[in-house]
Amino acid sequence: MHQKIGVLLINLGTPDSPKTGDVRKYLNEFLTDGRVIDIPWLPRQLLVRGVISPFRAKGSAESYQEIWEEKGSPLKFISEELIEKVQEALDSIPSQPEDAVEYFVELAMRYQSPSIESALLKLREKRVSKYIVVPLFPQYASASTGSAHQRVMEVVGGWQTIPNIAFINNFFDHPLFIKAFLEIGSKYNHDEYDHILFSFHGVPQRHLRKADNCNHCLKTPNCCHHFSDKNQFCYGAHCVGTAKALAKGIGLSEDRYTICYQSRLGKDPWMEPYTVEVLEELAKKGVKKVLVYCPAFVADCLETIFEISVEYQEDFEKWGGEHVQLVESLNTHPLWIETIKDLVLKN
């Protein structure tokens, strides 16, 4: 029987252009998501549209202008190239005529374009019999994977026929995912760097607590460092799991690396330690060269290209350090393509 499978890859999103108006539009959609800023609807709208976006849009637009290329936003065109390569990889899978499987791969952004709804409708037009939803976030967080899953369910929930859907929750320790980052990092001689950082996108500590159904989260020091059924869906535990797997693959002793968190927004306590504070502490201790992996990001974007390589580099020099070297993200690395292919085939 000929079977059609729809594969939906979802990334976070990016403004349509680096102009202030488009950046404000993007920030409004992103930050009014109740899973991102988890306060009641009206205060959230007033906070984002009346305070955060008006004050952040211009500065964020200037940052986007620093990384924007002729092809557009790196996150967008890298994701588009990824889709093409994943489609090629799935098309190359041999099958017998009697059980042939045809794959249709679409890209969606949780915020802005292409939207999740438009991508799902494209797959429905292909008359696929099953949908495999792969948010491109290795570690599960309510504000990323959870939001993407929820939006898919909202869209499909309005259809008369609810199709078969497989949701990928995480792949933080997938062997091919880890191997891909290790291979990219192997271009750098780790012995030449004084310290290694594994910098993940942070989330507010309250997000971790709200996702905890076992009264376990943040109750003891380093609770994320011990993986169990109590924290199997914890973003912090996933980040630690990824970092430890990478450190083991590189051959790092515990004193050679630090797990930290970047991109804090607001004054509420977020996951600690903060990357910027770790860099300051290292610089003041005399550390000169730091190598930074960002394993929460599968495509280079504002948070890697600009935040790490530009902003943190400037801060590090100011404190007495010399060089912050970013390890490039997975982008379209062959082993990353194989990771997605494996996730699809197993689901």
Helix intervals (H) in 68-146: 74-91, 116-125
Report the 10 Å Cβ neighbour count for 113.
Answer: 13
Alpha carbon 7 to its chain's center: 18
Q: Which of 52, 59, 20, 8 is nearest to 33 (CA)?
A: 52
pLDDT values of the chain reduced to their tens digit, one per residue, 347 residues: 689 999 999 999 999 999 999 999 999 999 999 999 999 999 999 999 999 999 999 999 999 999 999 999 999 999 999 999 999 999 998 877 767 899 999 999 999 999 999 999 999 999 999 999 999 999 999 999 999 999 999 999 999 999 999 999 999 999 999 999 999 999 999 999 999 999 999 999 999 888 877 777 777 777 888 788 888 889 999 999 999 999 999 999 999 999 999 988 888 899 999 999 999 999 999 999 999 999 999 999 999 999 999 999 999 999 999 999 999 999 999 999 999 999 999 99
Burial of 344 (0-12, 13-18, 19+ CB in 10 A): buried
Q: How many residues in total does the chain contain?
A: 347
Query: What domains can you pick out in the chain, each with its CATH number?
Result: 3-171+334-345 (3.40.50.1400), 189-326 (3.40.50.1400)
Peptide bond just before 114 cis, omega within 30 deg: yes
Q: Which of 260, 257, 239 is nearest to 247 (CA)?
A: 257
Q: How far apart are CA 40 and CA 15, in angstroms?
A: 25
What predicted TM-score, i.e. pTM, was given to this entire model? 0.95
